[in-house]
Chain A
Amino acid sequence: AQSVTQLDSQVPVFEEAPVELRCNYSSSVSVYLFWYVQYPNQGLQLLLKYLSGSTLVESINGFEAEFNKSQTSFHLRKPSVHISDTAEYFCAVSDVGYSTLTFGKGTMLLVSP
């Protein structure tokens, strides 16, 4: 069975500092990987996804994530965060060929001035 572990429940950081949100998964087959963002009292929005090819994927707002098969990780990074990045971030995995996602418990990113 799949599982997703987000190692930090909260990550506090100052504005303009770099940040890394960690995600590890377990699966016995090939996977697709996703990061979602949730702002307060809203639904989840897709931030970026890894399907195949280049292991580094980027979002339009400066986040990037790198698929590391040997370490079964898909950590999310941003070199310089803004106050507006304050949100909860969820990592998710699906087996290739199956539509069901398994989610991690989420990491709350708290950006302060």
Chain B
Amino acid sequence: DGGITQSPKYLFRKEGQNVTLSCEQNLNHDAMYWYRQDPGQGLRLIYYSQIVNDFQKGDIAEGYSVSREKKESFPLTVTSAQKNPTAFYLCASTHVGGGSYGYTFGSGTRLTVV
């Protein structure tokens, strides 16, 4: 079955460490998105990409980086510059254009700083 897979489900980071969250989809979607979710703050867009080798900053891109070398994959790196990285991270994907599809979401990665 087609879907979008995020791994790992839980991730622990030490202070000063970079960590990478994986997002893979087999839906043949062009666009992929990364959101951060904190209690009571809804979904905040970090980065998005609508085509391979191109991506755009969202509302809270500072301290994060992404790459889009393959259509299926959109990994997110949380760098040491992100001062408060503890949160639930969601990846989503959709077809470009039209707008009627909505997003398909992964099951999320919970990142905790220890």
Contact = CB atoms under 8 A, between A and B. Distances in A.
Interface residues of B, number: 27
B68 interface: no
Given A51-B100, A99-B50, A105-B40, 13 more contacts: A32-B100, A36-B105, A41-B108, A43-B6, A92-B102, A97-B97, A97-B98, A98-B99, A100-B48, A100-B99, A101-B102, A101-B103, A105-B41
Contacts of A90: 42-43
A96 B101 CA distance: 11
B94 interface: yes
A105 B42 contact: yes
B36 interface: no
Contacts of A99: 31, 50, 94-99, 101
Contacts of B100: 32, 49, 51, 96
Which of A42, A45, A49 counts the most chain B CB atoms within 10 A? A42
Nearest to B88: A41
Contacts of A103: 42-43
Contacts of A95: 99
B108 A42 contact: yes
A87 to B, nearest CB: 14
Interface string A23-50: 0000000001010100001111110010
B102 A49 contact: yes
Contacts of A105: 40-42
Nearest to B29: A99
Interface in B73-109: 88, 90, 92, 94-108
B25 to A, nearest CB: 12
A45 B100 CA distance: 15
Which of B90, B97, B102, B108 counts the most chain A CB atoms within 10 A? B102
A43 B105 contact: yes
Contacts of A106: 42-43
